[in-house]
């Protein structure tokens, strides 16, 4: 199979001859890992898939050929994508570590993911880490990149959109990553499993089990509306700085009638919307965005053009406020991935220390109130002496 891949004219045209893997890990997922690479002196990112020849040998010849063709087709499509809000694919590197892996994907290196940025702001933080103008800008960037993909002919459907594959560059601009990867990972069948972010997926995505043997089902489930739903969840996470990871059950028992009723996708996440409704005024474009994107019926969700208009309107409403984007992500620029967890832990410690100081402050204030009450009932001569003591302190 690998000789077949390497003999493809399309693939040969995408091979980058001067790629060096530095050994520095950037991230890892269920089906791939990302390392820092150097391409002609420029620092980039290289994605290596976990699937190997040995894994693929367990599939039938027809499945292997189907997966191979899908892989090459998606690579060719990725090479044609050019947009400021889509991560730039640069080419491939064959067998980077000498093993029989699929070609590594080489792309531009970015600073951090939206998920990592928001995760530095745990729920116990009283003040939001990311100001509203920056949030509006990020959501507008994502909508712009998604509009570019959906307006292609045929439309390019991401199918696995989440805050983890929304990346930020050094200027704070958001870009969509992992475009075109969902289809050929699914076509690997049991050899590799796509890390579908179920929290971001609409109900129709779970209607059938997708595999390389169910191509027609894959096409019917993967419509542009699946990305619109995912964007709605990303908006909840971005605005509320809390991932809606514990939605209510899809059904509940009505207390009055005792009947089992179904919750809408919006109702299931209602408890995550309360902080957002406190942040935004009623009728705010982003509230409209969330409510419409989370419609259970795919046909009732807005098109990407409507989403783009709503995010641009929200961005213009917030223009002129907030902080410098470079300041926002400066602390993450120089941090290796494994230091982010340490930063979060230290932040938690500082928050606990702050709570302790606040408790001690309250005790001191109570003591002052008690002393002042005692002073108010004391003889006049004693009050004068006490006042002299206070003024000299």
Residue predicted with more confidence, 391 or 346:
346
pTM, entire model: 0.74
User: For the chain, how long is the longest CA-to-CA vector?
Assistant: 102
User: Is the pLDDT assigned to residue 392 strictly greater than 50?
Assistant: no
- Give the mean pLDDT of 78-99: 85
The three-class DSSP label of residue 306 is helix
Task: Give the separation between CA 370 and CA 385, rounded to whole angstroms.
Answer: 18
User: Is the pLDDT assigned to residue 210 strictly greater than 50?
Assistant: no
pLDDT band of residue 214 (cuts 50, 70, 90) is very low
The three-class DSSP label of residue 369 is helix
- Cα first-last separation, the chain: 84
Task: Give the separation between CA 87 and CA 110, rounded to whole angstroms.
Answer: 9
Count of Cβ atoms closer than 10 Å to residue 118 Cβ: 23
Write the CA distances from 177 to 11, 113, 121, 180, integer angstroms. Answer: 20, 10, 23, 9
Residue-level pLDDT at 58: 65
- For the stretch 387-391, contacts whose Cβ atoms lie closer than 8 Å and that sit 24 or more positions apart, written own/partner, are none
- Give the mean pLDDT of 92-114: 79
Instruction: Encode burial over 310-326: b for 16+ CB neighbours within 10 A, e otherwise.
Output: bbbbbbebbeeebeebe
Those residues with Cβ within 8 angstroms of residue 56's Cβ, 6 or more apart along the chain or in another chain: 1, 64, 67, 188, 191
Asked whether the beta carbons of 194 and 160 are under 8 A apart, the reply is yes
Asked whether the beta carbons of 277 and 286 are under 8 A apart, the reply is no
pLDDT band of residue 317 (cuts 50, 70, 90) is confident
Task: Tell me the residue ranges of DSSP E strands in the chain.
Answer: 19-28, 32-39, 42-49, 89-93, 104-108, 112-113, 166-168, 174-176, 251-253, 260-262
Residue-level pLDDT at 253: 65
Residue predicted with more confidence, 295 or 277:
295
Asked whether the beta carbons of 47 and 29 are under 8 A apart, the reply is no
Residue-level pLDDT at 1: 46
Extract the tokens encoding 164.
């983890």
Asked whether the beta carbons of 210 and 221 are under 8 A apart, the reply is yes
- Give the mean pLDDT of 377-387: 58
For residue 361, say whether it is annotated as part of any ligand binding site. Answer: no
Residue-level pLDDT at 219: 45
User: Is the pLDDT assigned to residue 3 strictly greater than 70?
Assistant: no
Residue-level pLDDT at 103: 83
- Give the mean pLDDT of 108-125: 76
Q: Tell me if the bond preceding 154 is cis, omega within 30° of 0.
A: yes
The three-class DSSP label of residue 251 is strand
User: Is the pLDDT assigned to residue 144 strictly greater than 80?
Assistant: yes
Residue predicted with more confidence, 62 or 338:
62
Asked whether the beta carbons of 186 and 30 are under 8 A apart, the reply is no
What's the mean pLDDT when you consider all of the chain?
77
Worst-scoring range by mean pLDDT, 10-24, 53-67, 255-269, 321-335?
Answer: 321-335
Residue-level pLDDT at 362: 77
User: Is the pLDDT assigned to residue 118 strictly greater than 90?
Assistant: no
């Amino acid at each position: 199979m690998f000789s077949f891949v390497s003999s493809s004219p399309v693939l040969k045209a995408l091979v980058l001859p001067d790629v060096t893997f530095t050994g520095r890990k950037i991230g890892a997922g269920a089906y791939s890992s990302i390392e820092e690479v150097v391409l002609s002196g420029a620092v980039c990112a290289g994605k290596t898939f976990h699937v190997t020849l040995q894994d693929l040998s367990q599939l039938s010849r027809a499945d292997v050929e189907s997966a191979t063709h899908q892989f090459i087709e998606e690579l060719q499509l990725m090479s044609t994508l050019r947009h400021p809000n889509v991560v730039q694919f640069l080419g491939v590197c064959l067998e980077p570590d000498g093993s029989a892996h699929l070609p590594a994907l080489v792309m531009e290196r970015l600073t951090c993911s939206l998920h990592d940025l928001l995760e530095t702001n745990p729920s116990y933080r009283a003040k939001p880490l990311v100001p509203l103008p920056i949030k509006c800008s990020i959501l507008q960037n994502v909508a712009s990149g998604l509009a570019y993909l959906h307006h292609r002919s045929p439309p390019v459907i991401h199918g696995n959109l989440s805050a983890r594959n929304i990346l930020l560059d050094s200027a704070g601009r958001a870009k969509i990553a992992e475009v075109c990867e969902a289809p050929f990972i699914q076509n690997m069948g049991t050899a590799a499993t796509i890390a579908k972010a179920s929290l971001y997926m609409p109900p129709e995505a779970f209607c059938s089990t997708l595999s390389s043997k169910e191509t027609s089902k894959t096409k019917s489930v993967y419509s542009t509306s699946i990305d619109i739903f995912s964007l709605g969840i990303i908006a909840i996470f971005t605005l509320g700085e809390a991932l809606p990871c514990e939605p209510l059950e899809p059904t509940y028992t009505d207390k009055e009638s005792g009947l089992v009723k179904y919750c809408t996708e919006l109702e299931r996440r209602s408890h995550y919307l309360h902080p957002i409704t406190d942040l935004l005024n009623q009728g705010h474009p982003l509230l409209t965005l969330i409510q419409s994107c989370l419609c259970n019926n795919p046909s009732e969700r807005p098109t990407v053009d409507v989403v783009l208009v709503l995010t641009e309107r929200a961005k213009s409403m917030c223009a002129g406020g907030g902080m410098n984007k470079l300041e926002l992500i400066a602390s993450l620029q120089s941090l290796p991935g494994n230091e982010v967890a340490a930063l979060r832990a230290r932040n938690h410690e500082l928050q606990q220390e702050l709570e302790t100081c606040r408790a001690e402050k309250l005790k001191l204030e109570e003591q002052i109130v008690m002393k002042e009450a005692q002073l108010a009932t004391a003889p006049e001569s004693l009050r004068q002496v006490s006042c002299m003591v206070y003024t000299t302190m």
